[in-house]
Amino acid sequence: MPRILAFSGSARKDSFNQRLVTIAARAAEEAGAEVTLLNLADYPLPIFNEDLEAEGTPDNALKLKKLFLAHDGLLISCPEYNSSITPLLKNTIDWVSRPIEGEPRLAAYQYKVATLMAASPGALGGLRGLVHVRAILQNIGVTVLPGQVAVGGAAGAFAADGSLKDEKQQASIASLGSGLANYLQRLSD
């Protein structure tokens, strides 16, 4: 059974991106994957600094690293901040990228497959930021699947139950989740 780690690049309480990744995560589960849905707000970390690291890797970085190592796939919904990745997601990627106790470099990212999505109140839905998220992940060894969806007008896009009001949009986010689960299943067959 493929194992998928799902999270957003926002720690905001009512994050649109956390809602979006939750839809994809449920669909991945329905497609047969074992999904761990995280909220990065539960893993606060200082901004990465090699001096801090030399004093000892924070517990939350170690916990996140273990979670990455224990999963085959990543479902990530990242807001766009000033046309790029959020500092939260980049900081998480940086802490998790650091080798611990003789591990190979970037061990947490090798052989991982990721699917990306974004939500924004703006018209483009965060599409420009995903270009950067994709490039960063690919450069550290993650296979990022070509399909991605950016949901614009996010402030009015979600129903009270967390689903997307637009059925086609709901189906396209769900298919990102089920698509990743199916892709990982095919790899292991």
The residue ranges that bind ligand FNR (CB under 6 A) are: 8, 10, 12, 15-17, 79-83, 120-122, 124, 126
Query: Number of C-alpha atoms within 13 angstroms, CB side, residue 42?
Result: 8
Q: Which pair of structure tokens corresponds to residue 64?
A: 């996140």
Nearer to ligand FNR among residue 73 and residue 129 (C-beta):
129
User: Can you tell me the distance from the alpha carbon of 144 to that of 130, in angstroms, rounded to the nearest whole number?
Assistant: 11
* Minimum gap (Å) between residue 149 Cβ and ligand FNR: 14
Give me the residues paired with residue 35 across strands: 4
Nearer to ligand FNR among residue 12 and residue 105 (C-beta):
12
User: Can you tell me the distance from the alpha carbon of 160 to that of 103, in angstroms, rounded to the nearest whole number?
Assistant: 44
* Minimum gap (Å) between residue 82 Cβ and ligand FNR: 5
* Minimum gap (Å) between residue 112 Cβ and ligand FNR: 22
Give me the residues paired with residue 81 across strands: 84
Contact between 99 and 61 (Cβ < 8 Å): no
Q: Which pair of structure tokens corresponds to residue 38?
A: 């995280």
Nearer to ligand FNR among residue 5 and residue 118 (C-beta):
118
* Minimum gap (Å) between residue 43 Cβ and ligand FNR: 16
User: Smallest Cα–Cα separation from 15: which of 121, 91, 96?
Assistant: 121
Nearer to ligand FNR among residue 2 and residue 126 (C-beta):
126
Nearer to ligand FNR among residue 99 and residue 153 (C-beta):
153
* Minimum gap (Å) between residue 69 Cβ and ligand FNR: 26
